Amino acid sequence: MSVLLIAEISGAYIALSATAKALSAVAPLGPVTILAAGDGVDPAPLAALDGVAKVLHVEGADYGHQMPESFSELILSIAPNFTHIVAPATAAAKAILPRVAALLDVMVITDVTKLESADTFERPIYAGNATQSVTSTDPIKVLTIRTAGFDDAPAAAAAPIEGVDPTTGSDLSNWVEDRVVKTDRPELTSAGVVVSGGRGVGSEENFAIIGALADTLNAAVGASRAAVDSGYAPNDMQVGQTGKVVAPDLYIACGVSGAIQHLAGMKDSKVIVAINCDAEAPIFQVADYGLVTDLFEAVPALTEQLK
């Protein structure tokens, strides 16, 4: 058994927690080689994770932009040495790994939440309303790991770092620009506390009260699809079946009704608090603690008390 883990890297930035969580998920399978492909990336933090046998480091602008055509070509060039090709289930990996799997003529298995064995995996289907256990009959397993349920792999003695040549690259697609929102708040999928707002928040301006509570708790800000569609919050804050999946210690849902698509993204949180003026809102069915009240009174009051 030999595992190739694709580190989540955008430009020079390594999403270390996402990569470390995927690593702890797959480490029981055997020695893990990490592919660190980026643009100006320092792979040393990856080499210092427990369970890493080796880091392969490669540089290229297309890799930094996570362009699927060039990136899958790169993975293909080293794939024959591995039985498992895995990555944390990020937006980039979701674009790249199915492409890799098709080129290897194997079926990709996305959003794996549990590895039962080297060939048997659990994943949620139907927006998390069912869990399926599947056994792959393919010679190479290509997986994306839903990291929310795994702990970060701890630090260890540094593994060797080896340079790899980039492959030719592809001109099928070109990067134009990133429109990325800079934030000082913790990253949504790995934050210990998430405060999220729904349609009930009412406007982009009102979202400030969600942000204020989040800042008090050093939390990330999330949003329901309704809030994102209404323009109250940017798309990268969306929690749910098609957005981000989070499992923080504390999830505070403010003015979120709790459509099944939203619940799919947060129902594995350890403690869920719901604040909503509608006592019938489905969010209360998954909440540990509920406040049936006006969020515009309760949220600032909560912020004040927790300061």
Partner 1 sequence: MKVLVPVKRVIDYNVKVKVKADQSSVDLANVKMSMNPFDEIAVEEALRLKEKCIATEVIAISIGVKKSEDVLRQALAMGADRAILIEAANDVHMDIEPLSVAKLLAKVVQAEEPGLILAGKQAIDNDMNATGQMLAALLGWGQATSASMLEITNGSAQVTREVDGGLQVVNVKLPAIVTCDLRLNEPRYASLPNIMKAKRKPLQAMTPSDYGVDVAPRLVINTTVEPPARAAGEILGSVDALVSKLKEVGVV
In terms of CB distance, is 126 or 155 closer to partner 1?
A: 126
Q: Is 171 in the site for partner 1 (CB under 8 A)?
A: yes
Longest dimension (CA), the chain: 59
Nearest-approach distance from CB 155 to partner 1, in angstroms: 24
How far is it, in rounded angstroms, from Cα 270 to Cα 267?
8
- Interacting positions 121-160 with partner 1 (CB under 8 A): 124-138
Nearest-approach distance from CB 24 to partner 1, in angstroms: 20
Report the phi/psi class of residue 131: left, alpha or beta, with left for phi > 0 and alpha for psi in -120 to 50: beta
* Residue choice 241, 247, 265, 266 for contact with partner 1 (CB under 8 A): 241
80 CB-near residues (< 8 Å, 6+ apart): none
How far is it, in rounded angstroms, from Cα 258 to Cα 1?
42
Nearest-approach distance from CB 54 to partner 1, in angstroms: 27
Binding residues: 199, 224-225, 238-242, 255-262, 276
- Interacting positions 262-301 with partner 1 (CB under 8 A): 267, 270-273, 279, 284-292, 298, 301
Nearest-approach distance from CB 202 to partner 1, in angstroms: 19
Torsion sign, CA atoms 68, 74, 75, 80: positive
- Interacting positions 12-31 with partner 1 (CB under 8 A): none
- Interacting positions 58-77 with partner 1 (CB under 8 A): 65, 67-69, 72
Binding residues for FAD: 199, 224-225, 238-242, 255-262, 276
- Draw the binding track, 70-109, toward partner 1 (x: CB under 8 A; -: no contact): --x-----------------xxx-xxxxxxxxxx-xxxxx
The residue count for binding partner 1 (CB under 8 A) is 89
The two structure tokens encoding residue 291: 């406040």
* Residue choice 118, 261, 277, 296 for contact with partner 1 (CB under 8 A): 261
* Residue choice 165, 177, 184, 280 for contact with partner 1 (CB under 8 A): 177
Q: Is 214 in the site for partner 1 (CB under 8 A)?
A: no
Bridge partners of residue 121, in order along the sequence = 115, 134
Sheet strands side by side (includes 32-38): 108-112, 141-145, 84-88, 3-6, 32-38, 52-59, 161-163
For residue 209, give the nearest of 225, 188, 226, 227 by alpha carbon.
227
Bridge partners of residue 49, in order along the sequence = 155
Q: How far apart are the first and last CA of the chain?
A: 50
Nearest-approach distance from CB 90 to partner 1, in angstroms: 6
